[in-house]
Structure 1
Amino acid sequence: MAFKINHELPSPDVLKELIPMDEESKQKKAIRDEQIKDIFTGKSDKFILIVGPCSADNPETVVEYVHRLKAIEDKVSDKILIIPRVYTNKPRTTGDGYKGMLHQPDPNEPSDLLSGIIAIRKMHLRIVQETGLSAADEMLYPNNRDYLDDLLSYEAVGARSVENQQHRLVASGADIPVGMKNPTSGDFSVMLNSVTAAQHPHNFIHRLYDVETTGNPLAHTILRGGVDKFGTAIPNYHYEDLIRLLDAYKKADLKNPAVIVDCNHYNSGKKYKEQIRIAKEVLHSRKYNPELKNLVKGLMIESYLEEGRQEIGEDMVPGKSITDPCLGWDDTEQLIYEIYEKC
């Protein structure tokens, strides 16, 4: 077989013993989890902002960024709940390119998965300990989520993964909200089928164990735009798209109907500055239609310390994306305050 074993990796239980979560952080996260759950179940009308870099590439700049988010959340927490977007593994359309901190703790060095799982756990733990904000990550590899499951307060299943059976089954066992993105085709039925699967109980193999899940009532949808057969971006954040999703939810037997609108990716055509306009349009749609206000629970925004993106190299600008381009901090701060006034 064309496999070479580099390291035998520690199990999630062993890694958690080596890098344990302290009791104070557990209490902070428990409070956060309950607050987020209340938003998805309708007990709270706070608005969620999942905001952060396209990819978490450097622990120091990511933690600095989350500290800045914390300072803003202290001012807007009566209306907004901020979840830092800390994505430590990245899907690659062609298989090439930077695959995230899980693979490369240092983007300029070769892949090192053993160092990677240690680095991402330490970073997520630092975020909770230093800021009290537990983060969101992407469930790219379902078997790997156990390394972080005690630290995360939100997970997203990406457009390329949402049709995968293992992602759906594992999401059914999560005790935090899991957002199912529409696939790259933009098909709503695929996305809603994934939510249905995640909300139901299952019995399957996970990490060599025979496991059972109870179903995740907090599984929900994420709209991120799609592409047509020619690869042209087709956004799905407009009022008509939200109404179509609302009608589809009404026909489905699903708990806690909810959607998060991803302002970047194919909704913006990867024109990162468009996120500002898109966020405002979604807020206008919510204000115009009370049913949409109940359905649209929040926004996802790609943002970092510096705007735009850069290539990986020796002289990289700290806090500037090395994957998709992001809003810079000044625009992010202003946008959050504008969302606070309008949500």
Structure 2
Amino acid sequence: MAGASPLHPLSDIHIRKAHPLFSPAALKELYPVTPASNETVFTGRKQVVDILKGKDRRLLGIIGPCSIHSRKVALDYAERLKGLQEKVKDSMLLLMRVYFEKPRTVLGWRGLITDPDLDGSYKIEKGLKQARQILLEITEMGMPVGSEILEPIIPQYIADLISWAAIGARTTESQTHRQMASGLSMPVGFKNGTSGNLKLAVDAMEASRHPQSFIGIDQAGNTCVLHTTGNPNNHIILRGGRDAPNYYEENVEEAREMLAGSGIDPAVMIDCSHMNSGKDPFKQERVLRALTDYRRRGLNEVVGFMLESNLFEGSQSIGSNPAELIYGVSITDACIGWDATERMLLETHEALSGII
């Protein structure tokens, strides 16, 4: 029509630029699964499932740094944890905590995949390559890993190297993450909400156990509709709430009753960190001792624990020069050091001897 006004721009108004990303298949061709890694991941998943179902009475321990920011530190830690696993293998199955994504309440470093150079440059292609390389090297040692899944596209790039996954407190209520979990190939733990609400996690478990359909990408990177079978291998993680910890025996009983009420076999993991320790890394030990006591007294629904640990205790800020970071010290939540980690796990092993 003559004199018609030009159309107003309506799309991508706040998008600065769009950068094409390589496909999951392309990354896997660059860093393919080796026979040793394949066996580690497969065996790790099977052992975790056996623990969740009560076929294996050992405790499952997800142990490691709050976040991974250095390949060298990650491999150093993995070698030590592998040696410790041999010492405690009769009472515990240890998986290394290898977290590449960090959810943020407001702002902050979002993890190695998103910002591998720790400087806000957001070289995500580099981050994905580094993450996959680290996972390959750790699993090739024979050390299975656990990781939080945050971005729903990321699993297509690295999930074939992960034996256990977590859905965090901020995302347990998210429909997107419940759908995603229903299609993941490994067992999944759901944390209670940041408020301490357990029902959010139980509802998430129920949803993820059913078939779901949602939009995602395939191995070629094509946008498609993914149809899942549902994931029967999941459990709840008690991580404390906004006002109080929730690792006490009455909290375990509440979780057991809620799971039973939803027709789900009770399997409860306790996060020794976060609000269960009041974010004081040294208070993780009292939580670990409590859940060890529960198992000694026959509370077999307590199947595992999470522990934030690094080579050295404490935490540090990234600062203006990442090259000046102290080796083996967390750049996110404060952790206990390796010496304390080894002592605590050996003491736990000793306490469980004869009952597992």
Category of TM-score, reference length = shorter chain: over 0.9
Matched, 1:218 2:242: no
Q: Quick one: distance in 1 between partners of 2:296 and 2:260?
A: 20
- Aligned position for 2:29: 17
Q: CA deviation at 1:53?
A: 0.6
Could you tell me whether the CA contact under 8 Å between 2:294 and 2:302 is conserved in 1? Answer: no
Q: Quick one: distance in 2 between partners of 1:182 and 1:220?
A: 11
- Aligned position for 1:284: 293
Question: Structure 1 residue aligned with 2:138, among 105, 122, 127?
Answer: 127
Structure 1 residues 182 and 64: alpha-carbon distance in aligned structure 2, compared to 1, 3 A threshold: same
CA-to-partner distance for each residue in 1:46-82, whole Å, 9 max, x for gaps?
A: 1111000111110110110011000100111122110
Q: CA deviation at 1:27?
A: 2.1
CA-to-partner distance for each residue in 1:108-158, whole Å, 9 max, x for gaps?
A: 4622111111111111111111x2112111111111111111100011000
Matching of residues 29-108 of structure 1 within 5 Å: 29-94=41-106, 96-108=107-119
Query: Which structure has the bigger radius of gyration?
Result: 2
Secondary structure of 1:91's partner? coil
Could you tell me whether the CA contact under 8 Å between 1:171 and 1:219 is conserved in 2? Answer: no
Q: Which amino acid aligns with 1:115?
A: K
Matching of residues 239-318 of structure 1 within 5 Å: 239-254=249-264, 256-288=265-297, 290=298, 292-293=299-300, 295-313=301-319, 314=321, 315-318=324-327
RMSD: 1.3
- Aligned position for 1:142: 152
Q: Which amino acid aligns with 1:332?
A: T
Percent identity of equivalent pairs = 39
Number of aligned positions between the proteins: 332
Secondary structure of 1:226's partner? coil
- Aligned position for 2:224: 209
Could you tell me whether the CA contact under 8 Å between 1:199 and 1:215 is conserved in 2? Answer: yes
Q: CA deviation at 1:283?
A: 1.3
Secondary structure of 1:149's partner? helix
Q: Quick one: distance in 2 between partners of 1:48 and 1:60?
A: 25
Could you tell me whether the CA contact under 8 Å between 2:36 and 2:142 is conserved in 1? Answer: no
Question: Structure 2 residue aligned with 1:199, among 187, 209, 225?
Answer: 209
Stretch of structure 1 that moved more, 68-77 or 22-31? 22-31
Could you tell me whether the CA contact under 8 Å between 2:113 and 2:124 is conserved in 1? Answer: yes
Secondary structure of 2:303's partner? strand
Q: TM-score, normalised by structure 1?
A: 0.94
Q: Which amino acid aligns with 1:215?
A: G
Q: Which amino acid aligns with 2:308?
A: E
Matched, 1:338 2:344: no
Could you tell me whether the CA contact under 8 Å between 2:36 and 2:139 is conserved in 1? Answer: no
Could you tell me whether the CA contact under 8 Å between 1:58 and 1:106 is conserved in 2? Answer: no
Secondary structure of 1:64's partner? helix
Matching of residues 151-162 of structure 1 within 5 Å: 151-162=161-172
Could you tell me whether the CA contact under 8 Å between 1:7 and 1:114 is conserved in 2? Answer: no
Structure 1 residues 126 and 5: alpha-carbon distance in aligned structure 2, compared to 1, 3 A threshold: farther
Q: Quick one: distance in 1 between partners of 2:245 and 2:48?
A: 27
Question: Structure 2 residue aligned with 1:177, among 184, 187, 206?
Answer: 187
Could you tell me whether the CA contact under 8 Å between 1:307 and 1:320 is conserved in 2? Answer: yes
Q: Quick one: distance in 1 between partners of 2:186 and 2:349?
A: 24
Q: Quick one: distance in 2 between partners of 1:109 and 1:243?
A: 44
Q: Quick one: distance in 1 between partners of 2:272 and 2:181?
A: 23
Q: Quick one: distance in 1 between partners of 2:40 and 2:272?
A: 28
CA-to-partner distance for each residue in 1:150-176, whole Å, 9 max, x for gaps?
A: 100011000110011110011011121
Q: CA deviation at 1:6?
A: 5.2
Secondary structure of 1:143's partner? coil
Matched, 1:319 2:328: yes
Could you tell me whether the CA contact under 8 Å between 1:173 and 1:214 is conserved in 2? Answer: yes
Q: Quick one: distance in 2 between partners of 1:3 and 1:109?
A: 17
Q: TM-score, normalised by structure 2?
A: 0.90
